[in-house]
Chain A
Amino acid sequence: MNAHGMATKDAPWPTIRFTVNGESRSVRVPPMKRLLDVLREDLHLTGTKEGCGEGECGSCSVRMNGELVNSCLVPVLQAEGADIQTVEGLALEGGLHPLQESFLQNGGAQCGICTPGMLMAAAQLLANSPHPSEVEVREGLAGNLCRCTGFMRIFASVAAAAGASEPDPAKEPVLSSKLEQTHHAR
């Protein structure tokens, strides 16, 4: 257990309350502690990842009050009363969320480290725009870096989850097949 975790017993820190994945939670931690660390260390929700610690890579993306935030840049005091969703909250009913299913079928995840943040960014995108254009998809995911996929299969996954009519590359014939992503416009 880290020092901040141990501090919850008798430290003078105020209690901060918020909702995570539909559950009410409260923590007594230094108010400037990063939301990312509170999620990972105090609430043991380790699905949210740290990639850079400076808001560039988006691996720590969570949804807070209907907005996408980098949880490494949010002091937990700003989360007082907030409604937060992490990757662990995407598939609450036991089955996969349509985005998770789509990423699985379309090769949207490789090493998986950017995936939780990417899924949250995609979920936010689809909440704002259920049938996003290709430009909107690129813009919506521009704050989330993936070093493995070159993004093509992520675009295809999001498009498929949004119910777009583009063909599923997995279903195309294999031999000398034309394995194209579905987004050609910039």
Chain B
Amino acid sequence: MSTHATTRIVGTSVPRKEGVDKLVGRACYVDDMEREGMWYGATVRSTIPRGLIRSIAFDRRIDWSQFTIVTAADIPGENIIQLIVADQPCLADGKVNHCEEPILLLAHPDKHKLRAALGAVRIEYDPLPPIFSIEESERQDQVVWGTDNLLKSFLLEKGDVASAWARAAHIVEGEYRTGAQEHLYIENQGVIAEYSTQDGVTVWGSLQCPYYVFKALRGVFDLPEDKVRVIQTETGGAFGGKEDYPSVLACHAALLAKKSGHPVKMVYDRMEDLAATTKRHPARVRHRTALDKDGKLLAIEIHLDTDGGAYATLSSTVLSRATLHSTGPYLCPNVRVRARSWATNLVPYGAFRGFGTPQAVFAMERHMDEIAAALGLDPIELRRRNFLHQGEVNATEQLMREPMFLEQLLDRALQESHYHAKRAQFARENAVSPIKRGMGIAAFYHGSGFTGSGELYLNSLGGVDVAPDGKVRVLVSNTEFGQGTNTILTQIAAEALGIQYSDLTMAAPDTDMVPNSGPTVASRTSMVVGRLIERACLQLVSMLREQAGLGATHTREEFLAACERYRSAHGEVSSMCRYEAPPGIYWDDQKYHGEAYGAYAWAIYVAQVAVDTVTYSAEVEEFWAVQEVGRVLHPVMAAGQIEGGIAQGIGYALYEKVVLADGRMANNQMTNYIMPTAEDVPPIHVFFEEIPFRHGGYGAKGIGELPHDGPAPAILNAIRDATGVSFHAIPLLPEDLYAGLVASQPVEEPALP
């Protein structure tokens, strides 16, 4: 099935580029850095969800002359964090719209003095009534954003849904809910900022997107491009959580640095990070589905609503991706998806791995099992009858041009998991055991790269250069935060240039040093940026052949010698490329019609679950993940991405609950926000099928987000298989299982022997 040419480096599991630094404790994260004369910063935050700030008072027991105090009045530019919609203030000015909203900043040379000072700033409010749910927001109990609380809406239409209901043999409806989820990167958010009149603002930080922070700083400080510099430090996990939030923190630290005249470090502790930073959007998804007598889809109607929190942040783009993944990998002639994101008085929700897709896939794939039950069909058979094939069109009427074979992925998943044999075995055993086991499945896809025309707007620029010492550097703004950017891009460059992996380094992720190759999000790095680097390298080789006498084949030494000849004749040895869209890409942003993504990764996941009907705990016992992600560039890292995403997906389904009390996170500690540990994760079996994608870096498609999309529905489908009871919401904690199992009185309650 695979047709890719032989490669020397791509496709092998070379050691992680920065691996040794991380393993010996030398890798420098932002909290490991100090600057001469550095002070520390802290944030005074709103304690109420909505209201007007009446007064700010400073307790006289503190010697405030030792502190630098920053308020909205100290902002030299616009008091807005520039992202998509200009609605989120850098510091609250007169009113607050959510708990933990930043109001005032403090800096002091001794970080231990800050805690007492934070408690000595007294803010009085005139409270306004808050809203905390999608339902309150859509009813407009209070209008807290714009004129109608609606942050964004999309309408996706294909065919004629209205006429389909009358022809349907079956109509199945369902409502599904997903909760907020915390990224829980182990390194909390942190930055160091410096300011000088001559150089402007410099920020070092734990972040994904240096140019997002760059843009935000320019707006808040009203500075030209050459007076803002952003440098990513080693980043200890991100998962989307360091896509948008670092812009806020960087602006805060830079304001303190400017006013204090000192470098300022701001590193959140875990409680502040959990309480104040973004999380995955909670969602409510309603499905109404028409099927013919053979179980073929006639119409899909979906109402998908998300809670966006108090400001727009990335809610529109998260909603977009949710919309475009809501109908599953199925062929359906009539589709209508109405998607809305609603404002509430909660901490703004933001980007998190999958970016709306896990919410949409949970609903669709749970609903497929409900349809199967309603029709008396096997869930596998229902999916098989409706799978999308090459040459057919999806919900946006994008022609599936590339080869795809969901049936084969499904067959592989069933075979590897012994799905049918296990279901039969569990059906026998469950009848006489308080432990009920079941098997569940999810079929899904994930679009790689920015949506629609997004990659064209980004207009990414990236490339390579060769220093006189023979070091070849990859020049991109894409960042490493564990997922393997450094390794993958240097592998691609070494391959294309015909030199060794060890010849390659990554240029510092510093906006003064690297071009804007776009953000490190949306599973775009391997496919989109990888292709950019591959092209830039091939372009350099041609240039050296044409202008520096490099032969048709070359050794590493001949390559470096040609670089030096080129340098003597022309100066700098570098090669840059801009993004070029694959041919035939057409997207209508108004009608949500056309080529939504350049490529899709496809997957079938299977979960084996045990439900203890005495303790009401559910445990994933084993997990199988079969996927097609284009060419696998680095087998160990690719499997590591899948396994890590599945572990997060298991947490999303069964463990991780953000408890809110009056708009504040009540469990903002690792003690009571629970993620899966080494003792909780089941054996995870990862399988790749490879269909190289012509327009991706050495055939790659996106991989990073895909594995978070499938676990939750597969697990809850397995729980349905085990218990006969349908659960429609995650996280599904033991108390929820108890409530559901007791209330439902399972149909097949076993007689005790």
Binding site for B on A (CB under 8 A): 1-4, 40, 45-54, 56-57, 59, 86-88, 90-91, 96, 100, 103-107, 109-116, 119, 137-139, 141-142, 144-155, 169-170, 172, 174-181, 183-186
In contact, B671 and A176 (Cβ under 8 angstroms):
no
In contact, B2 and A47 (Cβ under 8 angstroms):
no
B124 CB to nearest A CB, Å: 31
Given A110-B483, A186-B621, also A177-B25 (CB < 8 A):
no
In contact, A104 and B16 (Cβ under 8 angstroms):
yes
In contact, B643 and A181 (Cβ under 8 angstroms):
yes
Given A112-B236, A169-B636, also A54-B270 (CB < 8 A):
yes
B466 CB to nearest A CB, Å: 27
Given A54-B671, A147-B185, A151-B681, also A105-B15 (CB < 8 A):
yes
In contact, A54 and B639 (Cβ under 8 angstroms):
no
Between A47, A49, A111, A115, the greatest number of chain B beta carbons within 10 A of the residue's beta carbon is seen for A111
In contact, A172 and B635 (Cβ under 8 angstroms):
yes
B165 CB to nearest A CB, Å: 43
Q: Across the interface, which residues of B come within 8 angstroms of A111, CB to CB?
A: 22, 185-187, 235-238, 481-482
In contact, B15 and A54 (Cβ under 8 angstroms):
no
Between B21, B235, B678, the greatest number of chain A beta carbons within 10 A of the residue's beta carbon is seen for B678
CA distance A141 to B29 in the complex (A): 23
Out of A57, A91, A110, A169, name the residue touching B482 (CB < 8 Å). A110
Size band of the interface chain B makes with A: 35 or more
Out of A51, A112, A148, A151, name the residue touching B234 (CB < 8 Å). A112
Given A113-B186, A148-B237, A176-B690, also A104-B15 (CB < 8 A):
yes
A59 CB to nearest B CB, Å: 6
Interface string of B637-665 (1 = CB under 8 A from A): 11110011111100000000000000000
Q: Apart from A51-B270, A112-B23, what are 4 other A-B pairs with CB-CB below 8 Å?
A: A46-B25, A53-B269, A96-B24, A110-B483
Q: Across the interface, which residues of B come within 8 angstroms of A106, CB to CB?
A: 636
CA distance A139 to B643 in the complex (A): 19
Answer whether residue B111 sits at the interface, using C-beta atoms and an 8 A cutoff: yes
B272 CB to nearest A CB, Å: 11
Answer whether residue B184 sits at the interface, using C-beta atoms and an 8 A cutoff: yes
Out of A56, A114, A174, A185, name the residue touching B635 (CB < 8 Å). A174
Between A137, A139, A149, the greatest number of chain B beta carbons within 10 A of the residue's beta carbon is seen for A149
CA distance A2 to B462 in the complex (A): 40
CA distance A27 to B185 in the complex (A): 32
In contact, A88 and B25 (Cβ under 8 angstroms):
yes
Binding site for A on B (CB under 8 A): 1-2, 11-13, 15-16, 18-29, 31-32, 34, 109-113, 183-188, 234-239, 269-270, 481-484, 621-622, 632, 635-640, 643-648, 669-671, 675-679, 681-690
In contact, A142 and B640 (Cβ under 8 angstroms):
no
Name B10's closest neighbour in chain A (CB-CB): A174
B353 CB to nearest A CB, Å: 11
Between B24, B670, B675, B688, the greatest number of chain A beta carbons within 10 A of the residue's beta carbon is seen for B24
A100 CB to nearest B CB, Å: 4
Q: Across the interface, which residues of A come within 8 angstroms of B111, CB to CB?
A: 2-3
Q: Across the interface, which residues of A come within 8 angstroms of B635, CB to CB?
A: 169-170, 172, 174, 177, 179
Q: Across the interface, which residues of B come within 8 angstroms of A56, CB to CB?
A: 669-671
Given A47-B26, A150-B645, A174-B632, also A113-B236 (CB < 8 A):
yes
Out of A51, A88, A104, A176, name the residue touching B187 (CB < 8 Å). A51
CA distance A52 to B234 in the complex (A): 18
In contact, A179 and B687 (Cβ under 8 angstroms):
yes
Name B2's closest neighbour in chain A (CB-CB): A175
In contact, B639 and A153 (Cβ under 8 angstroms):
yes
CA distance A145 to B1 in the complex (A): 39
Given A47-B25, A148-B482, also A138-B185 (CB < 8 A):
no
Can you offer 17 A-B residue contacts whose CB atoms are under 8 A?
Answer: A1-B34, A51-B186, A51-B670, A52-B270, A87-B24, A110-B237, A111-B22, A111-B185, A111-B237, A111-B481, A141-B678, A145-B675, A147-B183, A147-B237, A150-B640, A151-B681, A174-B11
CA distance A116 to B21 in the complex (A): 11
Q: Across the interface, which residues of B come within 8 angstroms of A150, CB to CB?
A: 640, 643-648, 676, 681, 684
In contact, B31 and A50 (Cβ under 8 angstroms):
yes
Q: Across the interface, which residues of A come within 8 angstroms of B671, CB to CB?
A: 54, 56
Q: Across the interface, which residues of B come within 8 angstroms of A144, CB to CB?
A: 678
Name A144's closest neighbour in chain B (CB-CB): B678
In contact, B690 and A2 (Cβ under 8 angstroms):
no
Q: Across the interface, which residues of B come within 8 angstroms of A172, CB to CB?
A: 635
CA distance A176 to B632 in the complex (A): 9
Q: Across the interface, which residues of A come within 8 angstroms of B24, CB to CB?
A: 47, 87-88, 90-91, 96, 100
B70 CB to nearest A CB, Å: 21
Name B682's closest neighbour in chain A (CB-CB): A186
Out of B188, B677, B682, B688, name the residue touching A176 (CB < 8 Å). B688
B537 CB to nearest A CB, Å: 22
In contact, B677 and A142 (Cβ under 8 angstroms):
yes
In contact, B23 and A96 (Cβ under 8 angstroms):
yes
Nearest 3 CB-CB pairs, A to B? A47-B25, A113-B236, A111-B482
B280 CB to nearest A CB, Å: 14
Out of A49, A59, A109, A148, name the residue touching B23 (CB < 8 Å). A109
In contact, A107 and B637 (Cβ under 8 angstroms):
yes
CA distance A110 to B19 in the complex (A): 8
Q: Across the interface, which residues of A come within 8 angstroms of B640, CB to CB?
A: 107, 110, 148-150, 152-153
Name B234's closest neighbour in chain A (CB-CB): A112
Given A109-B16, A179-B688, also A147-B23 (CB < 8 A):
no
Out of A2, A112, A148, name the residue touching B27 (CB < 8 Å). A112
Out of B16, B110, B648, name the residue touching A147 (CB < 8 Å). B648
Q: Across the interface, which residues of A come within 8 angstroms of B184, CB to CB?
A: 145, 147
A126 CB to nearest B CB, Å: 15
In contact, A57 and B110 (Cβ under 8 angstroms):
no
CA distance A150 to B22 in the complex (A): 18
A175 CB to nearest B CB, Å: 6
In contact, B681 and A152 (Cβ under 8 angstroms):
yes
CA distance A186 to B621 in the complex (A): 8
